[in-house]
């Protein structure tokens, strides 16, 4: 049975989980410059940060291994260099997508439970949410651990739901811009929305079997308010 929202309408979903990077915020500057910094420390020169956009979304360890052939040990070393720049500087080099703050406020006012589910370390996600003043809309902010555990999106989503309490997954929906968000949602038996205004292509999201694919924040609102 669908719950009735505060506006008197029926709510198809009760819990909305949001990816952070490429979904709520555009983190390109902070992430790519910090990856560039880390690679330089590892002896790899990358002149154009645009070529590092693929690092936005997946776990860092996976990206360093797949894209530069690093061993697990090298990838972990690169991550430590990445955080050397990201923690004091890169963490604040973001832009909140236009219309997102208004959407979060509206969802909250209508009684939805909101959760951030990100592969970014929880402490960084919390700092960003507080700095850009959208932490207040969320009932939970769940990310990976600094020791490299819980980086898979399926694990992050599972932990987010565990912390919220008892919710049927049919009443939950995951929003993200990469295939990892769709795969994580499917692993937890929930619907998912792929947003193309982030860093994943429509083809990537379709192949990952997104329940819905939207191009804009207003279109995202339409899906959630249906």
Q: Say if residue 121 is in the same domain as residue 197.
A: yes
Confidence of residue 147 (pLDDT cuts 50, 70, 90): confident
Q: Say if residue 200 is in the same domain as residue 124.
A: yes
Who contacts 223 (Cβ-Cβ below 8 Å, separation ≥6)?
193, 212, 214
Segment 102-113, tens digit of pLDDT: 999 999 999 999
Q: Say if residue 68 is in the same domain as residue 179.
A: no
CA 161, chain centre distance (Å)? 15
Who contacts 109 (Cβ-Cβ below 8 Å, separation ≥6)?
6
Spatial distance between the Cα atoms of 212 and 173, rounded to a whole number of angstroms: 10
Rg of the chain over Cα atoms, rounded to whole angstroms, equals 17
Structural domain boundaries, residue 182: 3-26+95-224
- Across 81-109, b (16+ Cβ under 10 Å) vs e yields bbbebbeeebbebbeebeebbebbeebbe
Kindly give the pairing relationship between strand 25-26 and strand 95-96: antiparallel
Instruction: Say if residue 3's pLDDT is above 70.
Output: no
Last residue of a domain, one of 51, 67, 92: 92
Instruction: Say if residue 7's pLDDT is above 70.
Output: no
Annotated catalytic residues are 19
Q: Say if residue 179 is in the same domain as residue 76.
A: no
Three-state SS sequence of the chain: CCEECCCCCEECCCEEEECCECCCEECHHHHHHHHHHHHHHCCCCCCCHHHHHHHCCCCHHHHHHHHHCCCHHHHHHHHHHHHHHHCCCHHHCCEECCCHHHHHHHHHHCCCEEEEEEEEEHHHHHHHHHHCCCHHHCCEEEEECCCCCCCCHHHHHHHHHHHHCCCCHHHEEEEECCHHHHHHHHHCCCEEEEECCCCCCHHHHHHCCCCEEECCHHHHHHHHCC
- What local confidence, expressed as pLDDT, does residue 11 receive? 72
CATH number of the domain to which 16 belongs: 3.40.50.1000
Instruction: Say if residue 124's pLDDT is above 50.
Output: yes
Q: Say if residue 49 is in the same domain as residue 137.
A: no
CA proximity to 180, closest of 149, 156, 163: 156
Confidence of residue 5 (pLDDT cuts 50, 70, 90): very low
Confidence of residue 8 (pLDDT cuts 50, 70, 90): very low
Q: Say if residue 87 is in the same domain as residue 113.
A: no
- What local confidence, expressed as pLDDT, does residue 10 receive? 55
Structural domain count of the chain: 2
CATH number of the domain to which 82 belongs: 1.10.150.240
Instruction: Say if residue 182's pLDDT is above 90.
Output: yes
């Amino acid at each position: 049975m669908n719950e009735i929202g505060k506006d008197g309408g029926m709510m198809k979903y009760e819990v909305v989980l949001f990816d952070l990077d490429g979904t709520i915020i555009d983190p390109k500057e902070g992430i790519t410059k910090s990856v560039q910094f880390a690679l330089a420390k590892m002896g790899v020169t990358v002149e154009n940060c645009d070529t590092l956009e693929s690092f936005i979304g997946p776990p860092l360890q996976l990206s360093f291994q797949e894209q530069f052939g690093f061993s697990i040990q090298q990838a972990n070393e690169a991550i430590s260099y990445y955080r050397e720049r990201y923690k004091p500087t890169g963490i604040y080099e973001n832009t909140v997508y236009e219309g997102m703050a208004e959407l979060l406020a509206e969802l909250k006012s209508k009684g939805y439970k909101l959760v951030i589910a990100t592969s970014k370390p929880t402490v960084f996600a919390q700092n960003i949410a507080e700095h850009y003043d959208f932490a207040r809309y969320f009932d939970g902010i769940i990310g990976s651990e600094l020791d490299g555990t819980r980086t898979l999106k399926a694990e992050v989503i599972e932990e987010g739901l565990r912390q919220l309490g008892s919710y049927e997954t049919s009443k939950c929906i995951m929003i993200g811009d990469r295939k990892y968000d769709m795969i994580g949602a499917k692993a937890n038996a929930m619907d998912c929305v792929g947003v193309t205004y982030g860093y994943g292509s429509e083809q990537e999201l379709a192949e990952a079997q997104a329940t819905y694919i939207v191009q804009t924040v207003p279109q995202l609102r339409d899906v959630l308010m249906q």
